């Protein structure tokens, strides 16, 4: 429950029949348990709430008689508590429903958000780095069901990035229970870009190829995915300037699709804190050869001109995209 998007809080509760004597009994049992772990308590308070309508028990009776039962229990073990309703050491919440009553002390925070799938579907691009799993998590948290895609240059690079992405997705499974992962080999596409297009546009052209492939994956899936998730953060690296993002986003023009960049305004530190919280940081920090770093030009274009990019892309072989997708390995994690 703690990790399931859609729950904002949860608590471990004692349950008893909705009956004043039963509630008093449960209150004493709960107090005994609580005291074992917290022997230094001085104050307590009850907060009673009727959840269903038509319940005969009066909240005030529960507060007064229940409070007295708790007080008597603590007195009997030599610990005279005083009542404090605002900020007690021991606060017991009592939620009365028609048949059952629930009693609890601590309210825990869950992830919040919306249940996965209720907001639609998206393809999330996973590099193996720190940012992309955090971006995917934020998308899942707001109700998107994701399909994961990773582009790799094996055997030119080691298999580390693939292992990392699998491990990252294994970790994210606690938020979305089944995640499909596409592993797509891109060496032929990278070679085409390096040999046939102007060097400074390599990264933008590769990014556009990534998005085209992700779009093809989205179409291949049973239900189409109208959104793509990336871990871009404005200005973090050369490929993440506004101009370059425009040049990449243009791939989807007229397709009724959208790139979502949940981390666009996050600082690296903020992203890392979140990565730690969701359990992906340790995995992302393991070393891997980046598929992109294979052919990072010395002076990458930071303000790509769209017309120039499109002209360079004309020189590339579009069939390589279909060939890459045909070679994809698909895993259900």
Is 104 a binder of ligand ATP (CB under 6 A)?
no
Q: Which of residues 151-170 bind ligand ATP (CB under 6 A)?
A: 151
Among Mg ion, ligand ATP, none, what binds residue 153 when CB lies within 5 to 8 Å by partner kind? none
Q: Is 171 in the site for ligand ATP (CB under 6 A)?
A: no
Residue for token digits 């179409």?
219
Please, which of residues 200-219 interact with ligand ATP by CB under 6 A? Answer: 210
Nearer to Mg ion, 27 or 135 (CB): 135
- Residue nearest to ligand ATP as judged by C-beta position: 129
Q: In the complex, which residue's CB is closest to Mg ion?
A: 129
| Phi and psi angles of residue 298, each rounded to the nearest 5 degrees, phi first | -60, -45
User: Taking CB under 6 A as the rule, does residue 231 contact ligand ATP?
Assistant: yes
Nearer to Mg ion, 89 or 289 (CB): 289
| Residue 183 partner contact from ligand ATP, Mg ion, none using kind-dependent CB cut-offs of 5 to 8 Å | none
Distance, in Å, from the CA atom of 127 to the CA atom of 173, rounded to the nearest integer, reads 17
Q: How far is the CB of 133 from Mg ion (least distance, A)?
A: 11
Binding of residue 185 to ligand ATP (CB under 6 A)? no
Examine residue 240 and tell whether it contacts ligand ATP (CB under 6 A): yes
Among the listed ranges 36-44, 101-109, 234-242, 252-260, the one in contact with ligand ATP (CB under 6 A) is 234-242
Question: CA of 230: how far to CAs of 226, 249, 291, in Å?
Answer: 14, 11, 16
Tokens at 110, concatenated: 């869950």
Q: Measured from the CB atom, is 149 or 324 closer to ligand ATP?
A: 149
Residue 72 in tokens:
């008597």
What burial letters (b/e) apply to 303-333, b meaning 16+ CB within 10 Å? ebeeeebeebbeebeeebbeebbeebeeeeb
Peptide bond into 11 cis (omega under 30): no
What residues from 285 to 324 belong to the interface with ligand ATP (CB under 6 A)? Answer: 291-292
Residue 168 contact among Mg ion, ligand ATP, none, beta carbon within 5 to 8 Å by kind: none
26 vs 252, which CB is nearer to ligand ATP?
252
101-to-13, 59, 94, 221, 227 alpha-carbon distances in Å:
9, 12, 7, 45, 44
Q: Which x/- pattern, by CB under 5 A, does the window 125-154 give for Mg ion?
A: --x-x-------------------------
Q: Which does 121 bind (CB under 5 to 8 A by kind): ligand ATP, Mg ion, none?
A: none
Among 34, 126, 182, 201, binds ligand ATP (CB under 6 A): 126
In the list 27, 103, 125, 324, the residue contacting ligand ATP (rule: CB under 6 A) is: 125
- Identify which of residues 46 and 247 has a Cβ nearer to ligand ATP in the complex: 247
List residues binding ligand ATP (CB under 6 A). Answer: 125-127, 129-132, 149-151, 210, 230-232, 236-237, 239-240, 291-292
List residues binding Mg ion (CB under 5 A). Answer: 127, 129
């Amino acid at each position: 429950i703690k990790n399931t998007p859609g729950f904002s809080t949860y608590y471990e509760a004692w349950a008893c029949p909705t009956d004043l004597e039963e509630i008093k009994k449960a209150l004493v049992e709960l107090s005994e348990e609580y005291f074992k772990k917290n022997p230094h308590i001085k104050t307590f308070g009850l907060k009673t709430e009727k959840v269903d309508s038509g319940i005969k028990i009066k909240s005030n009776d529960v507060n007064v008689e229940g409070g007295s039962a708790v007080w008597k229990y603590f007195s009997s073990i030599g610990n005279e508590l005083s009542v404090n309703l605002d900020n007690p050491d021991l606060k017991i919440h009592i939620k009365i429903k028609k048949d059952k009553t629930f009693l609890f002390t601590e309210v825990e925070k869950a992830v919040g958000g919306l249940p996965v799938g209720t907001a639609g579907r998206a393809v999330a691009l996973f590099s193996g780095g720190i940012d992309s799993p955090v971006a995917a998590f934020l998308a899942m948290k707001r109700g998107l069901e994701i399909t994961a895609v990773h582009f790799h240059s094996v055997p030119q690079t080691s298999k580390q990035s693939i292992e990392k992405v699998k491990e990252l997705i294994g970790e994210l499974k606690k938020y979305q229970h089944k995640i499909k992962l596409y592993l797509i080999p891109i060496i032929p596409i990278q070679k085409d870009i390096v040999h046939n297009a102007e060097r400074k546009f390599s990264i933008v052209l590769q990014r556009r190829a990534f998005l085209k492939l992700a779009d093809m994956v989205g179409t291949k899936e049973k239900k189409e995915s109208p959104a793509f998730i990336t871990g871009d953060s404005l200005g973090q690296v050369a490929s993440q300037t506004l101009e370059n993002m425009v040049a990449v986003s243009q791939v989807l023009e007229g397709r009724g699709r959208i790139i979502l960049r949940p981390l666009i305004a996050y600082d690296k530190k903020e992203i890392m804190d979140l990565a730690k919280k969701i359990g992906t940081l340790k995995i992302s920090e393991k070393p891997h050869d980046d598929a992109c770093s294979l052919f990072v030009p010395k002076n990458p274009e930071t303000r790509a001109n769209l017309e120039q990019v499109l002209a360079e892309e004309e020189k590339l072989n579009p069939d390589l995209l279909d060939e890459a997708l045909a070679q994809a390995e698909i895993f259900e994690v």
